[in-house]
């Protein structure tokens, strides 16, 4: 009987279930989009129950489409949108509020207050992160402070906090497991990435009771099993967990110090493996835990871009300029340039290297001759400029020269974007055969724990190239186009609504 690894990839806009075979190939996928809630400007929320039910539906769908029985699943890997915060009632297992999504700015005020108290360095020195609404800690505080009765319940030990991995495992295990892994814990602003512990001082500042936090585990081990009524009668080992960006780093087989990848999903995330040594950034990069595997933890440097593929979604859903995301490529290719138009998609502020949570989106360089094609092209180009901002910071901080960039995520199907990216960075951009690298990373983590794959060397040998985009633009031209972007960002940041 052939067996498979099931990877559950719970992203910002959709839940996915993907079956992988022993060659690391995708056997079948299932995907369900779910509702995004924008209750106030800058706020983004999800319904945690819908995240769970859409995940369950994907499991059923992928098994049915692949004609695979539940007992052919050797293990499950979980990977997830990180930082997004769920708090649920211990007794009922019901969330007490909407999940606050990583993109949400609703804890801006809390961050400002903590900064005014001079606590930026306290958080940064222990967590490798910044006092920005992006991370979970202030989201937990917000829910405890703002949801009726939440604080009292938390103090009585009646609530549980989790990022999406914890929430899904809690549900899949029938409420038995309350766990997370190093990579997810390192995004909460409450976890000390040097001591590998929930940090008492930070918990105290945020007034978060420690007993509502999940137990932090390595990223690859058998944590528990699915409860049979949620998995067609089978108790399948849940054996891998990683936040989606770290999972993609693993799925791209970036196992050696200095290897990195960039993902173009809802947001954009460039991560570089820095090995067992954490590197502290001077250019707004985050120091984060990559994973805990083989009895040791490894660190990564990360540049986070809040709006990447979601700018294309905005063209489709918000502006209705395009009918589908791939159409953006056709339109962009119809014009030779944007003729000086720049779109700065700072819809929820700017992440690395600016960390300006009050900045908002802007468009520059419009003329009477500006067409939809120019506008769409400028939006696509913004994904590449933001990546260059981050890549330059990474080179400065790590001292490692960028020789090429491995890419993945929804928007890498766009050949125009990939070519423009290579032109901006002036290095080759490598797109792998398996674009589902996030899911693959979680599958590898689970597979290693149960002996489906023997070691990282076996995994690294499975990485295969689809296309290399070699630089075509002259360096001088690339520099001058990029300088226009830098001016546009500067100008956008001046305007504070």
Ligand X SMILES: O=P(O)(O)OC[C@H](O)CO
Ligand Y SMILES: Nc1ncnc2c1ncn2[C@@H]1O[C@H](COP(=O)(O)OP(=O)(O)O)[C@@H](O)[C@H]1O
Residue 68 contact among ligand X, ligand Y, none, beta carbon within 5 to 8 Å by kind: none
Nearer to ligand Y, 150 or 429 (CB): 429
Residue linked to tokens 């993945």: 408
Residue 55 contact among ligand X, ligand Y, none, beta carbon within 5 to 8 Å by kind: none
Q: What pairing do the DSSP bridges indicate for beta strands 342-344 and 362-364?
A: antiparallel
Count of beta carbons in the 10 Å neighbourhood of residue 261: 26
User: Which one among 4, 7, 12, 418 touches ligand Y, defined by CB under 6 A?
Assistant: 12
Shortest distance in whole angstroms from residue 339 CB to ligand Y:
21
Nearer to ligand X, 82 or 225 (CB): 82
136 binds ligand Y (CB under 6 A): no
410 is in an annotated binding site: yes
Nearer to ligand X, 12 or 387 (CB): 12
The Cα–Cα gap between 473 and 485 comes to 16
Shortest distance in whole angstroms from residue 435 CB to ligand X:
12
User: Which one among 32, 372, 413, 456 touches ligand Y, defined by CB under 6 A?
Assistant: 413
Contact region with ligand X (CB under 6 A), list: 120-128, 261-269, 429-437, 470-478: 261-269
Residue 163 contact among ligand Y, ligand X, none, beta carbon within 5 to 8 Å by kind: none
Contact positions with ligand X (CB under 6 A) in 267-326: 267
266 is in an annotated binding site: yes
| φ/ψ (deg, to 5) at 68 | -110, 135
Spatial CA neighbour of 412 closest among 316, 267, 340, 309 = 309
3-state SS class at 371: coil
Using the CB atoms, write b or e for 15-44: b if 16+ within 10 Å.
bbbbbbeeebebbbbbbbebebeeeeebbb
- Residue 125 burial class via C-beta count within 10 angstroms: exposed 0-12, middle 13-18, buried 19 and up: exposed
Whether 287 contacts 193, CB under 8 Å: yes
124 is in an annotated binding site: no
Contact region with ligand Y (CB under 6 A), list: 106-114, 117-125, 324-332, 344-352: 324-332
Residue 313 contact among ligand Y, ligand X, none, beta carbon within 5 to 8 Å by kind: ligand Y
C-beta nearest to ligand X: residue: 265
Whether 432 contacts 252, CB under 8 Å: yes
The Cα–Cα gap between 343 and 287 comes to 29
Shortest distance in whole angstroms from residue 264 CB to ligand X:
9
104 binds ligand X (CB under 6 A): no
| φ/ψ (deg, to 5) at 352 | -60, 140
82 binds ligand X (CB under 6 A): yes
Q: What is the 3-state secondary structure (H, E, C) of 214-267?
A: CEEECCEEEEEECCHHHCCCCCCEEEEEEEHHHHHHHHCCCCCCCCEEEEECCC
Contact positions with ligand Y (CB under 6 A) in 241-300: 265-266
CA distances from 471 to 383, 412, 418, 428, 429 (A): 17, 16, 10, 6, 8
Length of the chain: 497
Q: What are 17's strand-pairing partners?
A: 8, 30
Contact positions with ligand X (CB under 6 A) in 240-259: 243-245
User: Which one among 243, 345, 410, 432 touches ligand Y, defined by CB under 6 A?
Assistant: 410
User: Which one among 56, 110, 239, 312 touches ligand Y, defined by CB under 6 A?
Assistant: 312
Contact positions with ligand Y (CB under 6 A) in 191-250: none
419 is in an annotated binding site: no
Contact positions with ligand Y (CB under 6 A) in 13-52: 13-14
- Lookup: tokens for 81: 């949108």
Task: Look at phi and psi of residue 486 and say left if phi exceeds 0, alpha if psi is from -120 to 50, else beta.
Answer: alpha
Residues that bind ligand X (rule: CB under 6 A) add up to a total of 12
Q: What are 162's strand-pairing partners?
A: 86
224 is in an annotated binding site: no
Nearer to ligand X, 137 or 237 (CB): 137
81 binds ligand X (CB under 6 A): yes
- Lookup: tokens for 473: 């633009």
Count of beta carbons in the 10 Å neighbourhood of residue 289: 26
192 binds ligand X (CB under 6 A): no
Residue 102 contact among ligand Y, ligand X, none, beta carbon within 5 to 8 Å by kind: ligand X
244 is in an annotated binding site: yes
- Lookup: tokens for 365: 């360089």
Q: Which alpha helices (DSSP H) does 67-119 contain, by range?
A: 108-116
Whether 421 contacts 414, CB under 8 Å: no
Residue 83 contact among ligand Y, ligand X, none, beta carbon within 5 to 8 Å by kind: ligand X
The Cα–Cα gap between 280 and 259 comes to 17
Nearer to ligand X, 7 or 245 (CB): 245
Nearer to ligand X, 11 or 218 (CB): 11
Contact region with ligand Y (CB under 6 A), list: 270-278, 384-392, 403-411, 440-448: 403-411
138 is in an annotated binding site: no
Whether 246 contacts 218, CB under 8 Å: no
- Lookup: tokens for 349: 């502020």
The Cα–Cα gap between 82 and 364 comes to 32
Binding residues for glycerol: 82-83, 134, 244-245
| Residues lying near ligand X in the complex (CB under 6 A) | 11-12, 81-83, 102, 243-245, 265-267
Annotated binding site: 12-14, 16, 82-83, 134, 244-245, 266, 309, 410, 414
* Binding site, annotated residues for sn-glycerol 3-phosphate: 12, 82-83, 134, 244
Instruction: Summarize as ranges the residues that interact with ligand Y (CB under 6 A).
Output: 11-14, 265-266, 309-310, 312-313, 325-326, 328-329, 409-411, 413-414
Binding-site members for ATP are: 12-14, 266, 309, 410
């Amino acid at each position: 009987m052939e067996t498979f690894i099931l990877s559950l990839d719970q992203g910002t806009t959709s839940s996915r279930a993907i079956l992988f075979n022993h060659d690391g190939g995708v056997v079948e996928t299932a995907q369900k989009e779910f509702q995004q809630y924008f209750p106030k400007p800058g706020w983004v929320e999800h319904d945690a129950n819908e995240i769970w039910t859409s995940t369950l539906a994907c499991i059923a769908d992928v098994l049915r489409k692949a004609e695979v029985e539940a007992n052919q699943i050797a293990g499950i890997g979980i990977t997830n949108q990180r930082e997004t915060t769920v708090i649920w009632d211990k007794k009922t297992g019901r969330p007490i509020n909407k999940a606050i999504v990583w993109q949400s700015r609703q804890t801006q005020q809390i961050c400002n207050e903590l900064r005014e108290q001079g606590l930026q360095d306290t958080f940064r020195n222990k967590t490798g992160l910044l006092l920005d609404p992006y991370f979970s800690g202030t989201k937990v505080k917000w829910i405890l402070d703002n949801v009726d009765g939440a604080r009292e319940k938390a103090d009585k030990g009646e609530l549980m906090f989790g990022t999406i991995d914890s929430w899904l495992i809690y549900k899949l295990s029938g409420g038995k497991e309350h766990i997370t892994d190093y990579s997810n814990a390192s995004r909460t602003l409450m976890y000390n990435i040097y001591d590998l512990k929930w940090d008492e001082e930070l918990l105290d500042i945020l007034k978060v009771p420690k007993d509502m936090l999940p137990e932090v585990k390595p990223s690859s081990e058998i944590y528990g099993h699915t409860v049979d009524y949620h998995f067609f009668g089978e108790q399948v080992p849940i054996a891998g967990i990683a936040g989606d960006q770290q999972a993609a780093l693993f799925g791209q087989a970036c196992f050696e110090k200095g290897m990195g990848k960039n993902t173009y999903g809802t947001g954009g995330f460039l991560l570089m493996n820095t090995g067992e040594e954490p590197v502290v950034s001077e250019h707004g990069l985050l120091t984060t835990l990559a994973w805990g595997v083989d009895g040791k933890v490894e660190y990564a440097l990360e540049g986070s871009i809040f709006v990447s593929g979601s700018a294309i979604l905005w063209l489709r859903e918000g502006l209705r300029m395009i009918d589908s995301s791939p159409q953006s490529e056709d339109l962009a290719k119809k014009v030779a340039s944007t003729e000086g138009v720049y779109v700065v998609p700072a819809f929820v502020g700017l992440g690395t290297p600016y960390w300006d949570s009050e900045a908002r989106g802007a468009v520059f360089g419009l003329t009477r001759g500006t067409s939809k094609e120019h506008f769409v092209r400028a939006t696509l180009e913004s994904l590449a400029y933001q990546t260059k901002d981050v890549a330059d910071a990474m080179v400065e901080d790590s001292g490692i020269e960028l020789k090429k960039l491995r890419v993945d995520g929804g928007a890498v199907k766009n050949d125009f974007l990939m070519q423009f990216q290579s032109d901006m960075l002036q290095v080759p951009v490598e797109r792998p055969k398996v674009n589902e690298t996030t899911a693959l990373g979680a599958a590898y983590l689970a597979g290693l724990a149960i002996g489906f794959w023997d070691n990282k060397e076996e995994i690294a040998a499975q990485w295969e190239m689809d296309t290399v985009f070699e630089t075509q633009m002259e360096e001088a031209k690339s520099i001058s186009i990029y300088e226009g972007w830098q001016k546009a960002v500067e100008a956008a940041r001046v305007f504070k609504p």
